[in-house]
Amino acid sequence: MNRKFVFALLLILTLLVSACGGGGDDDKEPTAPPTAPPTAPPTEEPQEPTPKDLGEEIGALYVEALQKAAKLVKDKPAVAEARPKVEALKEEYIQKLFKLGERREALNDQDRATVDTHIRMSITSVGSTEWYTAYSEAMQYYFDEDFEFRELLYSFNIIGQYASFDLLREQEPEEAVRLGIMEP
């Protein structure tokens, strides 16, 4: 054989062995090439709701509060039985709406108007529902039974004012004082 041919063949074999990781240490496992450490998937920051979203959320809570009040009194239970449940329900929704009202209050006038528009849009069909008819009938029933309880029930019609501090100050100043948004 030609010496040049043998030299070229040895050179090629050496390169192949080097490239394949050969060269001795057969008892070692091959190692993977270094990689970057795993990273957590990117987390999205919770986005602040838009004025439209806020208005729809307030409107949905308003409707939900009315529906739950209607359900509590649809069978016209005794006032002594119903009053604590209705009072607790009202306070629960006052707190929820008030928190949303704090967010509304932080907005500029234009964004507040957007919130208010979407609240109105969210509640426009309430009066034509079966549950609202039952709610209205219960209020009429309690008018003769217990006027103060009827007024408590009626207050669910305007519970949305707890998310609109200007309305709350104007229409329920005692509540505005109780909740700390108005001086006594």
pLDDT tens for each residue of 3-17: 443 333 333 433 333
pTM: 0.73
Q: Residue 95 has which token pair?
A: 């707190």
Mean pLDDT of the chain: 83
Per-residue pLDDT band for 36 (boundaries 50, 70, 90) equals low
Supply φ then ψ for residue 153, to 5 degrees.
-60, -45
Higher pLDDT, 22 or 17: 22
Residue 65 in tokens: 């509060």
| Confidence at residue 28, expressed as pLDDT on a 0 to 100 scale | 52
State the pLDDT at residue 49: 81
Cβ atoms of residues 149 and 142 within 8 Å: yes
d(CA 171, CA 155): 11
33 pLDDT above the threshold of 90: no
167 touches 112 (CB < 8 A): no
Q: Can you give the pLDDT at residue 78?
A: 96
Say whether 146 sits in a helix, a strand or coil.
coil
pLDDT (average), residues 34-39:
56
Q: Is the pLDDT of residue 55 over 60?
A: yes
Q: In whole angstroms, how far apart are CA 104 and each of 59, 60, 166?
A: 13, 15, 11
**pLDDT over 70 (residue 25):** no
Give the least confident one: 21-30, 81-90, 167-176. 21-30
